[in-house]
């Protein structure tokens, strides 16, 4: 990585399956889950933080219904499903090595439209994109089909780009200078097309940028400091253009889509890993970018972003080493608070995992061996940034 990533010493037994932390960021105390697992919302220095052992390099995690989540361990080469029980106690439901060597992203989709969420896995080491379907047993999935990718896949997202009624895939590479679009033909069969990018197109995302009814694709070019839009022209044609030009000295790693100014058009929040900021690119009614705005990073730079809500109610989560910064617009600027995390937290998402009505924050501590969960209410419990 370009930015220094000094791993923090943490009070966590790596042999234990879980640890519950109610701690300030500057230190930690391990304890048994309290009888009342919901800390005082008014307290800024006691935060309910759970780490679940997931094997080395837990690179991806995705929430599932009913307090469950699925994860891939890149180094252990497994797909796992976990659930949170009473008292926020985690229990592993499934561990399957069928993903092959070095799996990366795991995502949810109802691929066969049977009303149940399936899993898509980018099998980097296996060179495949995989469809896993639920078996009907609690938390169990089986490998239903797979397709060979033109490069080791790192990311996968779903849309019907050609509007033929079959779901298509956009697949990002582990390295290289191409993004692949897989046009579905049914039964997990595809024809693929390669889109030109720059080294390295990172974590492509689907968005209808110009509101023409056709799904477009956006991604950051990590090595070039740019952000690109693949504008869907119909008939399986895309026009590649810059939303942010190449910029020396920044490495945009990932982006999220959300309407942050409340004008009805989706904007982008870009994690600048070596730019010491998250950069917001405001949509100019589909024509391009109207203006940009930076949310500063306290120390290094941000590696991942997630957004809950829209307009003035939006809550942003931005990951740094050892912590996650929460950002909320207040007055004319952004107010920052922090919650704890492990080493290099990635794949952030908001979900109510303990089903208490408050959003939690789920992420993979990718330079360690755990999945992290910070329980809500998030903003009320977060501390001022140190």
The CA distance from 32 to 326, in Å, is: 27
Query: How many Cβ atoms are within 10 Å of 96's Cβ, its own excluded?
Result: 14
C-beta separation of 271 from 252 below 8 A: yes
Q: What is the mean pLDDT of each run of 10 residues along the chain (386 residues)?
A: 32 31 31 31 58 88 97 94 94 97 96 96 96 96 97 96 96 94 96 92 96 97 95 97 94 97 97 94 97 94 96 96 95 93 96 96 94 96 91
DSSP 379: H
> What pLDDT sits at residue 300?
86
Per DSSP, which regions of 77-213 are E strands?
78-84, 90-96, 106-109, 118-123, 128-134, 141-148, 153-159, 168-173, 178-186, 189-196, 205-207
**In this structure, is the dihedral angle defined by the CA atoms of residues 149, 154, 159 and 162, taken in order, positive or negative?**
negative
What Rg do the C-alpha atoms of the chain give, in angstroms? 20
> In terms of Cα–Cα distance, which of 230, 226, 227 is closest to 217?
230
Laid out side by side, the sheet with 106-109 consists of: 106-109, 118-123, 128-134, 141-148
> What pLDDT sits at residue 185?
94
The CA distance from 368 to 188, in Å, is: 34
> What pLDDT sits at residue 56?
81
The CA distance from 121 to 11, in Å, is: 32
Question: How is residue 51 written in tokens?
Answer: 């780490």
The CA distance from 173 to 374, in Å, is: 30
- pLDDT tens digits, one per residue of 16-47: 323 333 333 333 322 333 323 333 333 334 56
The CA distance from 186 to 69, in Å, is: 27
DSSP 300-353: S--S-EEEESSGGG-EEEEEETTEEEEEEEETTEEEEEEEE--SSEEEEEEE-T
The CA distance from 59 to 371, in Å, is: 9
From residue 21, give the alpha-carbon distance in Å to each of 52, 131, 195, 323: 11, 35, 45, 14
- pLDDT tens digits, one per residue of 163-195: 999 999 999 999 889 999 999 999 999 999 999
> In terms of Cα–Cα distance, which of 50, 51, 52, 106 is closest to 78?
106
> What pLDDT sits at residue 353?
96
> What pLDDT sits at residue 24?
31
> What pLDDT sits at residue 12?
29
């Amino acid at each position: 990585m370009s930015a220094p990533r000094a791993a923090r010493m943490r009070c966590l037994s790596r042999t234990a399956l879980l640890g519950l932390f109610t701690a300030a960021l500057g230190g930690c105390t391990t304890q048994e889950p309290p009888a009342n697992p919901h800390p005082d919302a008014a307290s800024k220095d006691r935060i309910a933080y759970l780490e679940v052992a997931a094997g080395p390099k837990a690179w991806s995690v995705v929430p599932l219904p009913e307090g469950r989540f699925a994860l891939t361990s890149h180094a252990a080469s497994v797909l796992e499903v976990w659930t949170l029980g009473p008292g926020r106690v985690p229990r592993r439901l499934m561990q399957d090595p069928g993903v092959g060597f070095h799996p990366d992203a795991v995502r949810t989709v109802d691929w066969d439209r049977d009303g149940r969420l399936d899993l898509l896995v980018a099998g980097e080491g296996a060179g495949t994109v995989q469809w896993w379907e639920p078996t009907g047993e609690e938390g169990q999935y089986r490998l239903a089909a797979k397709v060979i990718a033109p490069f080791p896949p790192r990311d996968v997202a779903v849309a019907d780009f050609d509007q033929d009624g079959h779901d298509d895939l956009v697949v990002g590479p582990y390295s290289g200078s191409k993004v692949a679009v897989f046009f579905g033909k049914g039964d997990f069969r595809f024809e693929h097309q390669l889109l030109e990018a720059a080294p390295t197109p990172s974590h492509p995302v689907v968005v209808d940028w110009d509101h023409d009814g056709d799904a477009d694709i956006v991604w950051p070019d990590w090595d070039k400091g740019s952000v690109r839009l693949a504008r869907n022209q119909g008939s399986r044609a895309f026009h590649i253009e810059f939303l942010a030009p190449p910029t020396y000295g920044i490495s945009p790693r990932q982006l999220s889509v959300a309407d942050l100014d409340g004008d009805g058009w989706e904007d982008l929040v870009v994690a600048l890993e070596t730019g010491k900021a998250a950069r917001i690119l405001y949509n100019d009614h589909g024509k391009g970018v109207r203006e940009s705005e930076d949310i500063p990073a306290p120390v290094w730079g941000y590696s991942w972003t997630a957004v809950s809500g829209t307009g003035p109610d939006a809550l942003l989560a931005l990951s740094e080493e050892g912590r996650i910064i929460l950002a909320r617009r207040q007055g004319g600027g952004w107010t920052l608070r922090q919650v704890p995390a492990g080493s290099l937290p990635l794949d952030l998402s908001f979900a109510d995992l303990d089903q208490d009505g408050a959003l939690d924050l789920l992420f993979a501590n990718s330079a360690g061996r755990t999945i992290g969960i910070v329980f809500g209410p998030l903003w009320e419990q977060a501390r001022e940034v140190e």
